[in-house]
Amino acid sequence: MWFKDGYYPILIPENGQDIKGKKLIAINKHLINEVVDSLSTLIGETNEALLKKQFPNYVTHIALLEYFKFLQNDTIQLIFQGENGDKSSLIYSKDIRNNILKYGMPKMLQTNTSPLYWSNMDKIFWMEIIDSENILYVGYNKCFGKEVATLCGYKNVENLPSFQEFTQRLFSCIDTSSFDKLIFDLRLNAGGSSIQGTKLIDELAKYDVINTKGKLFVVIGRRTYSSGLINALDFKNKTEAILVGESTSGKPNHYGEVKQFQLPKSGININYSSDYFKYLKEDPNSLCPDIYVEPTYNDFENGEDPVLKIILEYED
């Protein structure tokens, strides 16, 4: 994963524990900056957030490493370095099965604690009151729910959470309490249907008790994309929200409204964008936060969220 202080593994194989806490510095003697420069050419426009998001997928893609001539005798040596300069390495072959037999299945690095947003990342949307700080924290991880699924013709929607009911609980909570701050976290939201989020934001904008500079915060990041980005723009354009976090991988003005057709001979389905959406007069490659915060590896290892810390300390 790309952190502020380097590229660290958070998925570690069973027999490769000595790379824990060490950053990736080279692949087959090619310095990591050289690798990043080559892989960045796969991204059409200069968008550092998109590169940070995609880098973990690219750097483990054997075909890409082979294309850029980073393979050596059909092997991949990943070289890691610790804070004291001590080095460790993993040597992989092109055969994934051999790698699993050699090192075992990779597992997520376990930390003693997890940030609030990380521990709820399996939920579509959620909210929690941080009593010690008198803060209402809302996580919106996907622009989805029972209502969207029903409109799209999904089956078995009864097991999905209702966004309408969630919205009612949210505003009931605001009406019956007096929170110092409200945090709306979009950093994991890669899209879905933006309409339900826009309606919520339009209603929230009417609440002067919350829609005030220094009380309403929206968290964005490298995973904020598509409809998640549209809702972040709704907050920017319609409320007094302060945006905190990292720049988005999604571009504010972008092509969307995906449709599909099938090639007549091969039967292959083709997805394509059918419309262009312009939300800003300028044409930036990312939506940038008002307060930029990028996590370090130590933040991750210690289960800390520097974004939440900045918001807690914020005074207008």
The length of the chain is 316
Over residues 52-56, the mean pLDDT reads: 92
Looking at the structure, do residues 98 and 127 belong to the same domain, yes or no? no
Q: Is the pLDDT of residue 158 over 80?
A: yes
Pairing of strands 135-140, 181-185: parallel
Looking at the structure, do residues 174 and 307 belong to the same domain, yes or no? yes
Looking at the structure, do residues 102 and 125 belong to the same domain, yes or no? no
What single string gives the DSSP state of each residue in 59-125? HT-HHHHHHTT--BTTEEEEEEE-TTS-EEEEEEES-HHHHHHHH--EEEPP-S---HHHHTTTSSE
| Structural domain includes residue 298 | yes
The span from the CA of 274 to the CA of 251, in Å, is: 16
Looking at the structure, do residues 176 and 297 belong to the same domain, yes or no? yes
Task: Count CB neighbours of 178 within 10 A.
Answer: 8
Q: Which of 182, 181, 250 lies closest to 220, judged by CA? A: 250
Looking at the structure, do residues 175 and 307 belong to the same domain, yes or no? yes
Over residues 138-162, the mean pLDDT reads: 94
The span from the CA of 226 to the CA of 37, in Å, is: 26
- Token pair belonging to 144: 């989805």
The span from the CA of 306 to the CA of 160, in Å, is: 31
| Structural domain includes residue 274 | no
Q: Is the pLDDT of residue 234 over 90?
A: yes
Any idea what the Cα angle at residue 118 is, between residues 113 and 120, rounded to 5°?
110
Q: Is the pLDDT of residue 14 over 70?
A: yes
Looking at the structure, do residues 137 and 235 belong to the same domain, yes or no? yes
103 or 1, higher pLDDT: 1
Each residue of 72-125: pLDDT tens digit?
788 889 999 999 999 999 988 877 777 777 888 888 888 888 999 998 999 999
Of 49, 79, 108, the one marking the end of a domain is 108
The span from the CA of 182 to the CA of 272, in Å, is: 37
| Structural domain includes residue 244 | yes
Q: Domain of 101: which CATH number?
A: 2.30.42
Total domains, the chain: 2
The span from the CA of 93 to the CA of 71, in Å, is: 9
Q: What is the pTM of this model?
A: 0.92
The span from the CA of 275 to the CA of 277, in Å, is: 7
Q: Domain of 146: which CATH number?
A: 3.90.226.10
pLDDT for 45:
67
Partners of 216 in the beta sheet?
182
Looking at the structure, do residues 104 and 120 belong to the same domain, yes or no? no
| Structural domain includes residue 260 | no
